[in-house]
């Protein structure tokens, strides 16, 4: 009989593709690098063709690209079988890869991770920080198992709303408007505006449009920490989500803007494939803890 493809070979292919190299994949899988190399080589012998380009980073060949979705499904299904058995015995185990935007990682996830650890001590949640527009792509590609999506429309069945994260003006504490209860975006025109090129730009533009104020950012900054540092240094002002509060130095403040603007946060598994029992369990824990209509800020 011809040799069969096995789960260890498919798991190695997925791990090397996602990690970008054999060494990182070995760490991810908790095995030696030679074991990963042998598994991929064995897969290639069974298939009769290479599945990976051995470069930096390692990447799938055309054949590898074609079989990768099936490999992900097989690995996910095997993980689900194990999770179902573990749950039957009284608890979730395994690993859930969770993607979220930077501000969510800073302001919302620490409490969720603490609660999950207390409720499911044998389950590991690994966090992947990304830009808003990357998260849905990672989720549907199988790079992660769950994600906190911004303004998901529509949200997959079973997704859990985490609330609304409002937009605030970021000011130095010595700024004339820093002590106000709210700040009209028109009052920010006297300062140079620093725009974060993340997913909040459309919310900021919409607030300016509704206020009838011209939106003319002086600087465009990709990294949120860089933007905060520049406001801290007195270069200008900005607008960002309230969840960024833990990232701020002591002499910077967030003040709600007028007209109000917010983004909706949703915790979900993928839309295009079944959720693992571990993901379903985590979302159920959040759903049970949150009252309907609760908001983040």
Query: How much is the pTM?
Result: 0.68
Task: State the residue range of the domain holding 190.
Answer: 166-262
With vertex at residue 11, the alpha carbon angle to CA 6 and CA 15, rounded to the nearest 5 degrees, is 155
What is the predicted pLDDT for the residue at 154?
A: 83
pLDDT of residue 30: 77
8, pLDDT greater than 60: yes
Phi, psi torsion values for 182, nearest 5 degrees: -145, 160
Model pLDDT for residues 78-102, shown as the tens digit of each residue:
877 766 665 555 567 788 999 999 9
What is the pLDDT, as a whole number, of residue 208? 93
| Mean confidence (pLDDT) of the chain | 88
For 297, the 3-state DSSP assignment is coil
Claim to verify: residue 69 and residue 100 sit in the same structural domain: no
Residues 251 and 170 in one domain: yes
Tell me the CATH number at 69. Answer: 1.10.10.10
Half-sphere exposure of 23 (CA within 13 A, CB side): 3
145 and 220 co-located in one domain: no
Q: Give the pLDDT confidence of 29-53 residue by residue, as tens digits.
A: 878 899 899 999 999 999 999 999 9
- The structural domain count of the chain equals 3
Of 263, 265, 260, give the one whose Cα is nearest residue 290. 265
In a domain, 2, yes or no: no
Choose the weakest-confidence range: 18-22, 214-218, 234-238, 270-274.
270-274
Q: Within this chain, do residues 157 and 21 fall inside the same structural domain, yes or no?
A: no
Give the residue among 47, 62, 58 at the shortest CA–CA distance from 15.
Answer: 58
Cis peptide preceding 154, ω within 30 of 0 = yes
Q: Considering only 102-106, 181-185, 283-287, which range has the smallest mean pLDDT?
A: 283-287
Are 147 and 279 within one domain? yes
CATH of the domain at 255: 3.40.190.10
Largest CA distance in the chain: 80
Q: Which of 81, 107, 141 is the last residue of a domain?
A: 81
Cα 84 to Cα 76: distance, rounded to the nearest angstrom: 12
């Amino acid at each position: 009989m011809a040799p069969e493809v096995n789960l260890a070979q498919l798991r190695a292919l997925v791990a090397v593709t996602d990690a970008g190299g054999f060494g990182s994949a070995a760490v991810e899988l908790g095995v030696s690098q030679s074991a990963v190399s042998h598994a991929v080589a064995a897969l290639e012998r069974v298939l009769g063709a290479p599945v990976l380009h051995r470069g930096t980073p390692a990447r799938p060949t055309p054949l590898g690209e074609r079989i990768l979705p099936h490999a992900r499904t097989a690995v996910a299904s095997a993980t689900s079988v194990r999770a179902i058995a573990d749950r039957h015995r009284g608890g979730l185990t395994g690993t859930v890869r969770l993607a979220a935007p930077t501000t969510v990682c800073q302001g919302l996830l620490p409490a969720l991770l603490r609660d999950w650890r207390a409720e499911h001590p044998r389950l590991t949640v690994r966090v992947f920080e990304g830009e808003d527009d990357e998260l849905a792509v990672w989720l549907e590609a199988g790079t992660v198992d769950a994600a906190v999506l911004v303004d998901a429309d529509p949200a997959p069945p079973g997704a859990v709303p985490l609330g609304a994260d409002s937009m605030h003006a970021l000011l130095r504490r010595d700024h004339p408007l820093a002590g106000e209860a709210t700040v009209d975006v028109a009052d920010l025109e006297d300062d140079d505006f620093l725009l974060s090129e993340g997913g909040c730009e459309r919310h900021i533009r919409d607030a300016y449009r509704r206020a009838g104020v011209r939106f003319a950012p002086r600087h465009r900054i990709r990294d949120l920490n860089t933007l905060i540092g520049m406001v801290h240094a007195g270069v200008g002002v900005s607008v960002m989500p309230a969840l960024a509060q833990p990232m701020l130095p002591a002499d910077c403040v967030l003040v709600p803007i007028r007209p109000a603007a917010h983004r909706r946060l949703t915790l979900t598994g993928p839309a295009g494939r079944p959720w693992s029992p571990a993901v379903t369990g985590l979302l159920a824990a959040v759903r049970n803890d949150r009252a309907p209509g609760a908001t983040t800020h």
